[in-house]
Amino acid sequence: MKVVFFGSSLFSLPFLEGLKENIVLVITTPDMPQKRGKRILPNPVKAKAMEIGLPFIAVQNFNEEIKEKIASVSPDVFIVVSFGKIIPSSILSIVKYPLNLHPSPLPLYRGAAPIERQIMDGITKSAVSIMLMNEKLDRGDIVLQSPFDISFTDTKEDVEKKIVDIGIPLFKKALQMIEEKKFNVTPQKGRGSYAKKITKSDELIRWNEKNVKIYNKIRALYPLPATCTIFRGKRLKIFKAEIANLNKGHPGEIIDLTKEGFVVQCGSGSILVKEVQLEGKKRIKARDFINGSRLKRGEKLGLNENI
């Protein structure tokens, strides 16, 4: 069975590697400037395709030439994982089985950032969905769906690993269903929801919010892009934290210093910050940050509206 694989992110890589036996062509996106535009590097999917010897096409826009190149390999199936571009119906129509992985229990959390938004919302029960793509965003019929749990300590990185472990066997099962002519689909049912793209505004911690909401945001954006706040006029990224029991200051105020880090008051409750990165500096343990910056109780984090 001939598969054309569509992907462009680090999240796509384990799927490309795990399904490579069936892949005859990789479709990815053009190279992009890395690290503030200083270097232009191949995106990770292109780099992996080159490493394992798979032919690839870097697509800026889908046109008739691209369509002909894809059709020329006579594919049976498309597999789409974190591609980042809308695939037009003229391309989808090349195959009978354009399959897409979506990391949510569709129809819930359709859209660009389902993993992050589920963690931010404190969701504990999710699913990996394999759907048959159509021209409507994340509204195709469900081929397979497998549930999984999100714990209160899981970060985006942890959840992505769970999705990979479930998703690769799920794709293989879908391919087997096609080969054995046992392929069935189920229309999405119920009211859907939308997981909008993560913006710079989403990265900013608002200390007047409840500690659980802030904690969920920190783990939802770990390791990248990571949450941030303002410390002495500079951006301070917060990578790791946990819920703390203290509740005695103003939102954004540093209310305690411990062996593990520093405690920040939230709108309700507090969090213990354990790993940070100050603008222009390296990522370090919060304890080292306390010593290096001579952090004091009573100092405040955040913009004026947050404190």
- Asked if 235 and 279 count as a contact pair (C-beta separation under 8 A), the reply is yes
**CATH code, residues 3-195:** 3.40.50.170
pLDDT in the model for residue 116: 98
Q: Counting Cβ atoms within 10 Å, is residue 199 exposed (0-12), middle (13-18) or buried (19+)?
A: exposed
Strand residues in the chain grouped as ranges (E): 3-6, 23-28, 32-34, 39-41, 56-58, 77-80, 97-102, 110-111, 125-132, 141-149, 194-195, 227-231, 234-244, 254-257, 262-265, 270-278, 284-285
Q: Counting Cβ atoms within 10 Å, is residue 170 exposed (0-12), middle (13-18) or buried (19+)?
A: buried
Give ranges for CATH 3.10.25.10 in the chain. 200-306
Intra-chain end-to-end CA distance of the chain, in Å? 59
Cα–Cα distances in Å, from 31 out to 9, 28, 44, 305? 11, 9, 9, 39
Give ranges for CATH 3.40.50.170 in the chain. 3-195
3 state DSSP class of 232: coil
Instruction: Give φ, ψ of 210 to 5 degrees.
Output: -65, 150
Q: Which one is the CATH code of 200-306: 2.30.30.100, 3.60.110.10, 3.10.25.10, 3.40.710.10?
A: 3.10.25.10
Nearest to 129 by CA among 150, 117, 147, 154: 147
Mean pLDDT for the stretch of residues 279-301: 97
For residue range 90-127, list pLDDT tens digits in order: 999 999 999 999 999 999 999 999 999 999 999 999 99
Please state, in angstroms and rounded to a whole number, the distance separating the CA atoms of residues 227 and 221: 6
Please state, in angstroms and rounded to a whole number, the distance separating the CA atoms of residues 59 and 94: 16
Mean pLDDT for the stretch of residues 196-212: 97
Residues in CB range of 37: below 8 A, 6 or more apart: none
> Mean pLDDT across the chain, nearest whole number?
95
pLDDT in the model for residue 39: 73
pLDDT in the model for residue 305: 45
pLDDT band at 307 (very low <50, low <70, confident <90, very high): very low
Strand partners, 263: 256, 272
pLDDT in the model for residue 271: 98
Strand partners, 278: 236
For residue range 64-82, list pLDDT tens digits in order: 999 999 999 999 999 999 9
Mean pLDDT for the stretch of residues 13-29: 97
